[in-house]
Structure 1
């Protein structure tokens, strides 16, 4: 009798152990699955306009083919996208060039890294009344961005055209209109917030407008008197959340998607006038 009782008790213990193991296995699988799904649900931040459009039309569909669920978060300033990236509110962003990314990261003690440069809407010199560079008259009025990031590019464009020369020791991070060494046509220059520049074309002879603001205002990039010969360090980049995650699977997948023929095809068809990075034109 005692032997039978012991056998029954042993069976009960074994069944309990098996049940416990089964529960742990199922729970563990569920947790792993949950993590996988969570890792595939990402938020990409971009400034409203052409770059949120780029994420939506050229990046999101290709990332979804890889199993990701993408939510696009739009921003209307150049501060919050990186702050949100750093604190984990978003997983990647698209709105800035590498110079701005590095300077912002240094000033705010953030560790953010670029994944890849992307086609970028170039700066352009526009006019509603002047039809060519040769028609620019002495003393023409010109509006230009007042922030260093856009101003540096604007002045370089004007220098390429031959309208100004810039001091050799001008620092792109702190440049101002005081760094203009010669003003060939004695242009009357007014510095304004970059977003306001498209509206000044009704009252000013000329304006140097950043591509994203030109597109947001419904302007056609191909109508510019001249588009900038964009330096590689002024091309926008997709930045990965925190430098320590720059080699994550998400970062690798973003880079692969941006390097794909499908991405370039969408850019050619829907983002005409955008300047491609060197790696894309080789």
Structure 2
């Protein structure tokens, strides 16, 4: 069915009315606001009298409105994701690789430094190494350990000296070290229970390790007597498992009688 042509006869001084054929190419421009004023006026006059063209114009306007809503919704979704929220399509915000690398560059070294500091320092962790008075006078980091001061908590770099006739004991959990008179020891770390015998004689019990300039003695649920003097290092395994680690390697020491000594 052909469209009607409501064009009226031309009149002098009056613009020529728009036909349905001409309106087909102008309706879309009018719907999207791209039609000059005089032509838009003529087209609206035509639409007011042509039901077919008016219906097509309404369809174009509905399409324009639908597209506008879609554009606005997608724009709101993009803004929401940018600010960390969820848009209409519930899109998760992305973590940029550069931001992740920058985060790792600062956080990982800081965490490693933090844990290394805690392990290398003697903060108040339980149980710490503690020196207990037995008899006589011993010196712990310049402080006297005697009958008036029977217990001292050890910290890193504490130097332990026992005077002639003096004895003391270092304990912490399974670590048990008895120090005989005239001995000298250095606390390397109270947290990790590292103690080094510099000179003298001690008895190591429980599950513990004692360092010396000539080697390291490990005791596992046992007891060992350790002596370090001008003659070298002597280790007497009295019970349990006793291991000596020195320049010759790692070797288990047999449990022997009191007069049998393994030495360097």
- Using structure 1 for the length normalisation, give the TM-score: 0.24
Q: Which structure: greater helix fraction? A: 1
- Using structure 2 for the length normalisation, give the TM-score: 0.25
